[in-house]
């Protein structure tokens, strides 16, 4: 008996949400592997168009624009993402804290597998695409090295001290990372110094700050998705190559030694070596296997 489409879509969203919890792993990467990335961007772009019509006061165009969005498909995905974040964030954070090297090995393998899957989506593999991939990867690799520590101190105060405008800006930036393969929104918040601020707003039920963060996410998503949708339509292979570069660069965060995802410092394998390597191999095999299964399922029963 085939799985109902909304339930299957919620499962895809669950996988994306789980990925976004981990610094260096992006829900966009999972969307690429599952073959729904470009469709996701098209739907987000269509939703942004609805917002644009409202802001322009062209209310007669709102209903036709609303019909262009695949609401069941999109909301099922969003529901899965939210459930994953609510259900898995504490579990994954605990594992990252207690088994940092092994978890980093697993996630390293997952991203390596994702890179191989994404490279197959590049239609024309010319020196130009290869160069874009390497340049973007190198730039991100160097940028990530600007901040060695990717975690917040255990005793960091989870108290909101920033204005709502700062939350709005952080939301706009972080959401862009969430839909791009390579960097998770949580890692961007760490780099911006906003991770504990957002966490504090959640724990303190500071709805003003959370609303500002949410509005920032909507604005960032609307603006960014428009440009990304255009780029995918007109420069597909270059955009895909750049995304692969982002994933390559993000591997710096996921290198297992010396301290897992807690640092971007690079060290030689030592101590716990065998298990992280085995987990990395298992992660890569899992991603490639999931992509093969997803491809066969889509051919047999396209995502509706």
* Average pLDDT rounded to a whole number, residues 205-219: 86
Longest dimension (CA), the chain: 65
* Average pLDDT rounded to a whole number, residues 280-298: 78
* Average pLDDT rounded to a whole number, residues 110-119: 83
Q: What percent of the chain has pLDDT over 90?
A: 10
Residue 122 DSSP SS3? coil
Q: How far is CA 287 from the centre of its chain?
A: 15
Output the pLDDT for position 223: 81
Distance CA 94, CA 89 (A): 8
Chain segment 34-45, per-residue pLDDT in tens? 888 888 888 888
CA nearest to 183, candidates 121, 138, 247:
247
* Average pLDDT rounded to a whole number, residues 214-233: 83
Domain count along the chain:
1
Residue with tokens 């529901």, as numbered in its chain: 79
Residue 3 DSSP SS3? coil
Q: How far is CA 172 from the centre of its chain?
A: 14
Q: What percent of the chain has pLDDT over 70?
A: 82
User: Greater confidence, 298 or 16?
Assistant: 16
At residue 193 the predicted structure's pLDDT band, cuts being 50, 70 and 90, is low
CA nearest to 209, candidates 157, 151, 159, 150:
159
Distance CA 3, CA 6 (A): 9
Distance CA 147, CA 154 (A): 18
CA nearest to 168, candidates 223, 113, 239:
223
At residue 158 the predicted structure's pLDDT band, cuts being 50, 70 and 90, is very low
Output the pLDDT for position 299: 58
Output the pLDDT for position 300: 54
User: Greater confidence, 30 or 55?
Assistant: 30
The helix (run of H) or strand (run of E) holding residue 304 is: none
Output the pLDDT for position 155: 44
Structure tokens at 70: 């695949």
Has residue 110 got a pLDDT over 90? no
At residue 24 the predicted structure's pLDDT band, cuts being 50, 70 and 90, is low
Q: Do residues 58 and 288 lie in contact, with contact meaning Cβ atoms separated by under 8 Å?
A: no
Long-range CB contacts (within 8 A, 24+) of 16-19:
16/77, 16/80, 16/81, 16/84, 17/80, 17/81, 17/82, 17/83, 17/84, 17/85, 17/88, 18/84, 18/88, 18/92, 19/184
Across the chain, mean pLDDT equals: 79
Residue with tokens 């987990």, as numbered in its chain: 279
* Average pLDDT rounded to a whole number, residues 9-27: 79
| Sign of the dihedral defined by the CA atoms of residues 189, 175, 197, 10, in that order | negative
Has residue 242 got a pLDDT over 80? yes
302 CB-contact burial (10 Å; exposed 0-12 / middle 13-18 / buried 19+): exposed
* Average pLDDT rounded to a whole number, residues 6-19: 86
Chain segment 121-139, per-residue pLDDT in tens? 788 888 999 999 999 999 9
The helix (run of H) or strand (run of E) holding residue 5 is: helix 5-20
* Average pLDDT rounded to a whole number, residues 80-94: 80
What is the secondary structure of 204-230 as a DSSP string? TT-HHHHHHHHHHHHHHHHHHHHHHHH
Distance CA 98, CA 101 (A): 9
Distance CA 187, CA 195 (A): 8
Output the pLDDT for position 63: 82
Has residue 214 got a pLDDT over 90? no
Output the pLDDT for position 200: 73
Structure tokens at 289: 């296997």
Has residue 302 got a pLDDT over 60? no
pTM of the model as a whole:
0.70
Residue 130's domain comprises 5-300
Has residue 151 got a pLDDT over 70? no
């Amino acid at each position: 008996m085939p799985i109902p489409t909304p339930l299957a879509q919620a499962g895809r969203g669950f996988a994306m949400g789980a990925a976004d919890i981990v610094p260096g792993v992006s829900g966009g990467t999972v969307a690429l592997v599952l073959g729904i990335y470009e469709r996701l961007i098209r739907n987000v772009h269509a939703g942004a168009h609805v917002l644009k019509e409202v802001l322009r006061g062209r209310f007669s165009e709102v209903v036709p624009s609303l019909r262009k969005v695949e609401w069941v498909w999109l909301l099922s995905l969003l529901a899965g993402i939210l459930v994953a974040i609510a259900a898995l964030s504490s579990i994954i954070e605990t594992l990252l804290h207690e088994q940092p090297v092994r978890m980093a090995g697993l996630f390293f393998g997952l991203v390596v597998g994702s890179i191989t899957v994404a490279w197959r989506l590049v239609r024309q593999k010319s020196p130009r695409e290869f160069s874009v991939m390497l340049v973007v990867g190198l730039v991100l690799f160097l940028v990530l090295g600007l901040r060695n520590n990717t975690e917040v101190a255990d005793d960091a105060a989870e108290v909101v001290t920033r204005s709502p405008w700062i939350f709005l800006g952080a939301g706009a930036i972080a959401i862009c990372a969430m839909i791009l393969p390579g960097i998770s929104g949580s890692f961007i918040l760490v780099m911006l110094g906003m991770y504990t601020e957002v966490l504090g707003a959640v724990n303190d039920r500071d709805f003003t700050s959370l609303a500002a963060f949410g509005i920032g996410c909507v604005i960032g998503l609307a603006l960014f998705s428009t440009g990304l949708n255009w780029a995918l339509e007109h420069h597909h292979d270059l955009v895909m190559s750049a995304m692969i570069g982002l994933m390559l660069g993000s591997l710096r965060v996921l290198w297992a030694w010396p301290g897992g995802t807690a640092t971007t410092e690079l060290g030689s394998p030592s101590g716990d070596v065998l298990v992280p390597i085995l987990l990395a191999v298992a992660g890569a095999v899992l991603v490639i296997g999931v992509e093969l299964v997803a491809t066969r399922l889509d051919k047999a029963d396209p995502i509706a």
